A and B are shown apart, each in its own frame.
Chain A
């Protein structure tokens, strides 16, 4: 075979690349298909856990506990999650996505009345690790529970009134974006909560 011939220079590289591509893609497809069920189960688990967190229902975080609690207490209707608690008034949870500092932030927000929040949980965010990403920390999301919007941001560690929440030191802009997302949902509170 001529080393500089048409075949060696033009055809062979294309055929070779084609074969490499087919082999690589086959391996990845097989891996993807074999883990698909697991990945979907994980996503469902995260979704259900954030609904329970937003509704203020305590759980131990295990897969079985989340699944059984969710199935016994939550009913889904047109994108809303309704939890008819035993003693408390019913809770409605909605998912909402809004802009963050680096990318969209998706939250689950629960209402225990048209104005009062039962809790907030973060579904996804891309904020700065260690600063803005602290919106995922329990102390930050927990401070919305039982409070009435629209919310005002105050310095970290000084929130007092029922419409004040602590901002995160070093993540002023993420805090503001987050407040705006929450407040836009709060302004829809009456239609979300009462709109059955």
Chain B
């Protein structure tokens, strides 16, 4: 039975409980970083790391945290992990750090992190919270990567900075601008809901 819970916890954020296209959380970063695949990938890894470890840490502390100040403690823990990501990138991947700019710091305000801690980690044991954090992070990451794939390919004709489409391709500048993010996200949610979640929405 225990195994079943882990599997269920892991699978839910990938499909029917996806943080982006079902819970509609973390939209700001979804729109902001998805115009290039490499930024998206690093951002996703940062979110997975932060989400998994802050869920885990808060879950360990959950019986000691006074409920009146739990949000302050959560924010402090999340911020700590985000700054760890930021410093690590700055020291070891400075080029990437430069191109991500302020987005790494904005993981702190990603609603998925706070949302999963409030909704899951406070009620569940550490190992389960860790699984939930990783799965929610992956659920976030794959949606972003799909959107970034389309946006970068149509917006600049490249993938990960390598030219894929030749000179005949006219880049759609709107795809890499903020409106492109809105369009792609809306189209993605529409397709995902129509194709896979008919029974859930009806």
Residues of chain A touching chain B, judged by Cβ–Cβ distance below 8 Å, are: 8-9, 12-13, 16-17, 20-21, 24, 27-28, 31-32, 35, 38-39, 42, 45-46, 124, 126, 128-131, 169-170
Contact = CB atoms under 8 A, between A and B. Distances in A.
Contact of B173 (A8, A21, A24, A169): A169
Chain B contact residues, majority secondary structure = helix
A31 B87 contact: yes
Contacts, number: 70
Nearest to A28: B83
B166 interface: no
Given A126-B101, A130-B177, A38 B84 contact: no
A42 B94 contact: yes
9 contacts: A21-B76, A24-B76, A28-B84, A28-B87, A39-B87, A39-B91, A42-B90, A42-B91, A46-B98
Interface residues on B, range: 20 to 34
Contact of B87 (A8, A32, A130): A32
Interface in B79-121: 79-80, 83-84, 87-88, 90-92, 94, 98-99, 101
Chain A contact residues, majority secondary structure = helix
Given A42-B91, A130-B156, A13 B68 contact: yes
Contacts of B35: 129-130
